[in-house]
Chains A and B, each alone.
Chain A
Amino acid sequence: MAARKRVQILLLGLILTLATIISGGLVTISASAAACSSWPLCLEALSDSANPLVWISLGHRAIVALALLAVIGGVWAVWRSPETAGLPRWMALAAAIIFLSQALAGALLVWGVPAMVADVWHLTGALLAFGAQVLTFILIAIPAPATVERLSGRAAQTQRRLRGLAVWTAAAAGVAALAIGARSVAPELEMAVALPANSVGALSFAAFLSLWMAVEARRRLPVEAQTSALALALPRYSPLLPGLAALALIGWFIPAGGHLLSLTAAALLWAGAIAAAVAIQRAPLTFATATTTPATRPVSKWRMVVADYISLTKPKVISLLLVTTLTTMFITEAGLPSWWLVLWTMIGGYLAAGGAGAINCAFDSDIDVNMGRTSRRPVPSGRISARAAFVFGAILSVLSIVVLWVFTTPLAAFFAFLGIIYYAYFYTSLLKRSTWQNIIIGGGAGAIPPLVGWTAVTGSVSLMAVVLFAIIFYWTPPHFWALALVKQKDYARAGVPMLPVVAGEVETRWQILVYSAIMVAVSLLPVAIGAMSWIYLVGALVFGLRFMRDAWAVWRIGDQAAIWGLYKYSLLYLALLFVVMVADRLILR
C-alpha cells in the first residue's frame, strides 16, 4: 500500500475518533444515552416516538461505528506494510482494542450499569484510543532516523527538557479532558472515580506547561532546525498548544456549547502534546549534529532582562520545592483539594520561594562571584544590581504572602513568611557564613514547603506535616554535602565554611552516611503513625535502600562518580517519595 494511502486512512481514523469524543460529550450533556434503550442498534429511531434525543444518540453511534471501521482499517493498513514493523503496529492494534472496549462501555451505559463509572471509562477509553492513534500516525509520519547520532550535551539537555514538558502537557491535558467529562456526568461531585472534577486547574497546568514548551522550543532550537523538516514542525506550531489550552479554558466559561468546546480543545491538546513528545524524540538531530555554528536567533534586550529576573528566582531549585508542596496537598486528611486551591498555592509558593531566592542572590553576590557554579548569575556578573535584586525579591515575597493569605489560609501565608525569613536572612546572612552547621540547620528552610501545602488545605498543622518537614530536613545534608564535596574548592575560595572545607572529606562522607540512615528511618514514620499504608512502605523501603547504597558508596569509595551518583539520585528520591505518598492516598483512600 502506498504510504500516502496509509497516512490518509490513519488520518481518517483520527478525525472520526475525535468526532466520537465530541459527539459523546454531546450525548452526555443532553442526557440522551438512555433515549435509545437497545444496543448497538437504536430501534427507537424507527418508531413514531423518535425525538431529538434519539437522533443525537443514534448519530453518536453511527459516528462510533464509522470510527471503529476506520480504526480497524488503520490496523490493516499498518500491519500489511513491511516498512511499518515494530511499535506502530502494536500501537495501531492497541488503539483498536481500546476503542472497542470503550464502545462496550457505551453499551453498559445503555444497559444501566453505574453510569458514572461507565461514562468516565467511556471517555477515558476514547481518549486513550485517540492517543494510541496519534502515536501510530506520528511514528509513521516521522520515521526513526537510520543512524542514531550522539547528541551534544546541550542538545541532549534541550531534547530532554522539551520532551519532558511535552509529556507532562499531555498528562495534564488528559486529566483536564477526563475532568471535563466527569464534571458533565456528575457536576455535584468533587471526585469522580478518583478524578478531580474541577478541570480548570488541570487546564491551567496544561496551558502553563505548553506555553513553557513553546517558549523553550523557540529559544533553544536554532533557526535552521525549526525550518528543516516536517519532523521539526514542533517549534513552529507549538504555540498552537497553549492556544488550545486557552480555548479549553474559555469554553469553560461559555454556558451554551462551552463544554463541547472545552472537551474538543482538551482532546486536541492531549493529541498535540503526544505528537510533540514523539517529534522531539525523533526530530532534533539535525540541529544537534551540525558541525557549523548554528544560526542563533537574535535575543532582544528586554527578553534578556526578563530571563535574568526569572533566573533570580532560581526556577530549577524551586521546582523540587513545589513538587513537595503540590504532593503534600493531596495527602492530607482533608481529602482532595480543588484545583483552584492547588493553583493559587503553587503561585504563592513560587512567589515565596522565588522572592527568597532573589534576596539570597542580592546578599550572596560576594560569594557567588567566587564560585564557578554561580558566577554567571545576574548579580555577580553585573547585569542586575544587588539593590534591584533585593527589591524584586521583596516584592515577590510580599505578593506571595498576599496570594496565600487571600486564596488559601492565613497559616499557609505564615509558613511562607517564615520560610522567606528563614532562607533569605537566617540562612543566607547568618548560618551560611559562620558555621559548618549551615546546611543542617538551614535545611529547615527547604523543609517548609510541605507545611505550606498542608496548611493551605487543612488550615492546621498535624504530626504528619511535621514528619514531612523532618524527612526533608534530614534529606538536606546528604544532598548538599554531596555537592559541597565536588565543589569544595569553590566554597573555600568564597570563604564559606562548608563541612568538607572545615572538617575534611572523610568526616563529610561519614556524616552523609549517618544523616542518610536517619532520613530513611524518619521516612518510615508515616506508616508507623498510620498516615500511610503498604504502598508507601514498599516505596519508602525500595527508594531508601537505594539511597543507602549510594550513601555507602560515597562513604566507602568516595570518588566523583559515587558522589555525583548520590547527588543526582537524592533529587529523584525526594520527588519519588512524595509521589508514592500521593499514590498511597489516592489508591487506598
Chain B
Amino acid sequence: MLAWFIFWIAAIVAIGGQIPLIVAAWRLYRHPAPAPANVPRSDGRADLGWTLVTALATLALFGAAYLALP
C-alpha cells in the first residue's frame, strides 16, 4: 500500500513535471531569447526534441517501476 502511494505521488510529480519543461522548450523554440553575439544560437527544434526524449524516457522508467511494484 505504501509502495503504491509513494509510486503515484512520485509519478504525478515526475511525469507532471515534464509539462512545464516541454512548454518552456516550446516557448524558447517559438520565441528564442536574444543571446550575446558570440554565443551560438541553439537549434530550437533539437532542444524541443531532447526535451520530449527526456520526458518519454522518464515515462518509460515509471512504466518499468509500475511493473515492478510489489
Chain A residues at the B interface, C-beta cutoff of 8 Å: 433-437, 440-441, 463, 466-467, 470, 492-493, 495-497, 501-504, 507, 510-511, 514-515, 517-518, 520-522, 524-525, 527-530, 537
Contacts and interface: CB of A to CB of B under 8 A. Distances in A.
How many residues of B sit at the interface, in one of the four size bands? 35 or more
Given A466-B64, A528-B10, 19 more contacts: A435-B42, A435-B47, A436-B28, A436-B47, A437-B47, A437-B51, A496-B39, A502-B41, A503-B28, A504-B33, A507-B33, A510-B20, A511-B24, A514-B17, A521-B9, A524-B10, A528-B69, A529-B65, A530-B70
B57 to A, nearest CB: 8
Contacts of A436: 28, 42, 47
A518 B47 contact: no
Contact of A492 (B9, B10, B39): B39
Interface of B is mostly: helix
Contact of A441 (B38, B43, B50): B50
Given A510-B24, A530-B3, A524 B9 contact: yes
Contacts of B64: 463, 466
Interface of B: 2-4, 6-7, 9-14, 17-18, 20-21, 24, 28, 32-33, 35-36, 38-43, 46-47, 50-51, 54, 58, 61-62, 64-65, 68-70
A495 B38 contact: yes
Contacts of A433: 40
Contact of B42 (A493, A497, A521): A497
A529 B47 contact: no
A503 B24 CA distance: 10
Given A463-B65, A492-B36, A518 B42 contact: no
B45 to A, nearest CB: 11
Given A518-B13, A518-B14, A525 B40 contact: no
Contact of B13 (A492, A495, A521, A527): A521
Nearest to B67: A463
Contacts of B46: 435, 437
A551 to B, nearest CB: 12
Contact of B54 (A440, A467, A501, A502): A440
Of B4, B12, B35, B41, the most chain A CB neighbours within 10 A belong to: B35
